[in-house]
Chains A and B, each alone.
Chain A
Amino acid sequence: MITAIFFIASLLALLGAVGVVLFRNPIASVLSLVLVMFALSVHFLLLSAQFLFAVQIIVYAGAVMVLFLFVIALLGPGRELASSRMPRQGWLAVVVAAGFAVLLASLLGNLTYHQPASTNLDLFGTVEKVAIGLFTTYLYPFELTSLILLVAAVGAIYLSREHRQ
Chain B
Amino acid sequence: MNWLPLTILLLPAVGAALLAGRGWRWPRMLTVIVGPGVVWLSFLVVLYGYATDVNVDQSYWTWIKVDGFTLPFNLLLDHLSLFMCLMITGVGGLIVTYSVGYMGHEDDPSYARFFCYMDVFVTSMLLLVLAGNFIILIVGWAMVGLSSYLLIGFYYWRLSAVVAARKAFVMNVIGDIGMILGTFVIFFQFHATTYSDVFHQLGCSGDRLCLGTPDSPTLELAAFLFLVGAVAKSAQLPLHTWLPDAMEGPTPVSALIHAATMVTAGVYLVGRLHPLYDVAPYAHHAVAIIGALTALVAATIAIVQTDIKRVLAYSTMSQIGYMFLAVGVGAYAAAFFHLLAHAFFKALLFMSAGNVIHAMDDEQDMRRFGGLWRQLRGTSISFLIGSLALVGVIPLIGYFSKEFILGAVFSNPDPLSIWLWVVGFATAILTGFYTGRMWWIAFWGKPSPTRPVAVPQEAPAVMLWPVLVLAALSVAGGALQSKTAIGFGTTLVEDYLRPVVGAIAWPANPFDVLLALATMVLALVAFGWAYLMYVPRAERRAAFLDSLAEVAMASPHPWSSRVPWAQTLLEHKYYFDEIYDWAFVRPLDRLARWGDRGDRRVVDGSLTGVAGWVQGGGRELGLLESGYFRSYILVFVGGAVVAGLLVLWRASTA
- The answer to A–B direct touch (Cβ < 8 A) is yes
Determine the chain B residues whose CB is within 8 A of the CB of A85 once the complex forms. 628
Q: How far is the CA of A93 from the CA of B644 in the complex (A)?
A: 17
Looking at the complex, which of B13-21, B76-84, B583-591, B630-638 is the stretch in contact with chain A? B630-638
In the bound assembly, the distance between CA atoms of A107 and B630 in angstroms comes to: 27
Residue B514 CB within 8 A of the other chain: no
Q: Which residues of A contact B634 (CB under 8 A)?
A: 89, 92-93, 96
B648 close to A99 (CB less than 8 A): no
Q: Which one of A89, A102, A103 contacts B630 once the chains associate, using CB atoms below 8 Å?
A: A89
Any B CB within 8 A of the CB of A86: yes
The answer on a CB contact under 8 Å between A96 and B641 is yes
Please state if A103 and B631 are interface contacts (CB–CB under 8 Å). no
A41 to B384, CA, bound (A): 126
**Chain B positions within 8 Å of A89 at CB level:** 630-631, 634
| Bound CA–CA A9/B343 (angstroms) | 116
B631, chain A: closest CB distance, angstroms: 7
Within the complex, which residue of A86, A96, A102, A106 is in contact with B638, where a contact is CB–CB below 8 Å? A96
Q: Does A138 contact B (CB under 8 A)?
A: no
Q: Of A86, A97, A99, which one neighbours B645 at CB under 8 angstroms?
A: A99
List residues of chain A with CB within 8 A of the CB of B645: 99, 102-103
In the assembled complex, the CB of A8 is this many whole angstroms from the nearest CB of chain B, namely 31
Closest to A103 in B: B644
Range of interface residues on B (Cβ < 8 Å) = 10 to 19
Q: Residue on A with the closest CB to B638?
A: A96
Q: Give CA–CA (A106, B647) in the complex, Å.
A: 12
Q: Which residue of the partner chain A has the closest CB to B628? A: A86
| A85-112 CB contacts (< 8 Å) to partner B | 85-86, 89, 92-93, 96-97, 99-100, 102-103, 106-107
Given A96-B638, A99-B641, A103-B641: A86 and B631 within 8 A (CB)?
A: yes
A102 to B649, CA, bound (A): 13
B637 nearest CB across to chain A (Å)? 5
- B158-203 at interface with A (beta carbon < 8 Å): none
On chain A, the residues within 8 Å of B628 by CB distance are 85-86
A contact residues around B640 at 8 Å (CB): 100
| A106-B648 contact given A89-B631, A89-B634, A92-B634, CB 8 Å threshold | yes
Across the two chains, which residue of chain B brings its CB closest to A93?
Answer: B634
| Residues of the B chain whose Cβ atoms lie less than 8 Å from the Cβ of A102 | 645
**Can you name the residue of chain A whose Cβ is closest to the Cβ of B637?**
A96
List the B side residues contacting A93 at CB < 8 Å. Answer: 634
- B638 contacts across to A, CB distance below 8 A: 92, 96, 99
Q: Decide if A103 touches B648 in the complex (CB within 8 Å).
A: yes
Q: In the docked arrangement, what's the CA distance between A103 and B631, Å?
A: 21
Interface string of A65-99 (1 = CB under 8 A from B): 00000000000000000000110010011001101
- CB-CB under 8 A from B630, the residues of chain A are 86, 89
Partner of B637, one of A100, A106, A107: A100
Minimal Cβ-Cβ distance residue in A for B633: A93
Interface positions of B from 62 to 92, Cβ below 8 Å from A:
none
Complex CA distance for A106 and B648, rounded to whole angstroms: 9
Given the interface pairs A89-B630, A96-B634, the reply to whether A107 lies near B648 with Cβ below 8 Å is: yes
Tell me, in angstroms, the Cα distance from A85 to B628 when the chains sit together: 10
Q: How many angstroms between the C-alpha atoms of A100 and B634 in the bound complex?
A: 12
Q: Mark B612-654, 1 if CB is under 8 A from A, else 0.
A: 0000000000000000101100100110111011001000000
Nearest chain A CB to B261's CB is how many angstroms away? 75
Known contacts A106-B648, A107-B648: does B641 contact A100 (CB below 8 Å)? Answer: yes
Q: How far is the CB of A157 from chain B (nearest CB, A)?
A: 25
A96 closest partner in B (C-beta): B638
Which residues in window 130-175 of B have CB below 8 A to A? none
Least CB separation from A85: chain B residue: B628
Contacts of B641 in A (CB 8 A): 96, 99-100, 103
A96 to B644, CA, bound (A): 12
Query: Most chain-A Cβ atoms within 10 A of its Cβ — which of B631, B640, B644?
Result: B644
Q: How far, in angstroms, from A100 to B648 measured CA to CA in the complex?
A: 13
Nearest Cβ distance between residue B194 and chain A, in whole angstroms? 74
Interface string of B319-347 (1 = CB under 8 A from A): 00000000000000000000000000000
A16-48 Cβ-contact flags toward B at 8 Å (1 or 0)? 000000000000000000000000000000000
Residues of B within 8 A of A97 (CB): 637
Q: How far is the CA of A97 from the CA of B644 in the complex (A)?
A: 13
Chain B residues whose CB sits within 8 angstroms of the CB of A100 once the complex forms: 637, 640-641
| Chain B nearest Cβ from A45, distance in angstroms | 31
Query: Could you say which residues of chain B place their CB within 8 Å of the CB of A86?
Result: 628, 630-631
Q: Given the complex of chains A and B, what is the CA–CA distance between A85 and B627 in angstroms?
A: 12
Complex alpha-carbon distance, A102 and B645, angstroms: 9
Expressed in whole angstroms, the Cα–Cα distance for A61 and B634 within the complex equals 28
A108 CB to nearest B CB, Å: 12
The answer for the CA separation of A100 and B644 in the assembled complex, in Å, is 9
| B615 CB, nearest partner CB in chain A, Å | 19
Residues of A within 8 A of B631 (CB): 86, 89
CB distance from A58 to the nearest CB of B (A): 31
Nearest residue (CB) in A for B651 is A110
Q: Which residue of the partner chain A has the closest CB to B645? A: A103
CA distance A67 to B334 in the complex (A): 118
Q: Which residue of A lies closest to B644 (CB)?
A: A103
For chain B, residues 473 to 487, give those with C-beta under 8 angstroms from any C-beta of chain A: none
Give the complex CA separation of A99 and B641 in angstroms: 6
In the assembled complex, which residues on chain B have CB atoms less than 8 Å from the CB atom of A107?
644, 648
Enumerate chain A residues within 8 angstroms of B648, measured Cβ to Cβ. 103, 106-107
Q: Report the bound CA distance from A80 to B21 in whole Å.
A: 72
The docked-state distance in angstroms from the alpha carbon of A96 to that of B640 is: 10
User: Closest B-chain residue to A98, C-beta based?
Assistant: B641
Q: How far is the CA of A89 from the CA of B623 in the complex (A)?
A: 12
Q: Closest residue of chain A to B640, judged by CB?
A: A100
Nearest chain A residue, comparing its CB with the CB of B642: A99
Report, nearest first, the 3 A-B pairs whose CB atoms are least far apart.
Answer: A99-B641, A96-B638, A103-B644
Known: A100-B640, A103-B641. 20 other contacts (CB 8 A): A85-B628, A86-B631, A89-B631, A89-B634, A92-B634, A92-B638, A93-B634, A96-B637, A96-B638, A96-B641, A97-B637, A99-B638, A99-B642, A99-B645, A100-B637, A100-B641, A103-B645, A103-B648, A106-B648, A107-B644
Interface residues of B (CB under 8 A from A): 628, 630-631, 634, 637-638, 640-642, 644-645, 648
Some 11 contacts from A to B, beta carbons below 8 A apart, are A86-B631, A89-B630, A89-B631, A89-B634, A92-B634, A93-B634, A96-B637, A97-B637, A99-B638, A102-B645, A103-B641
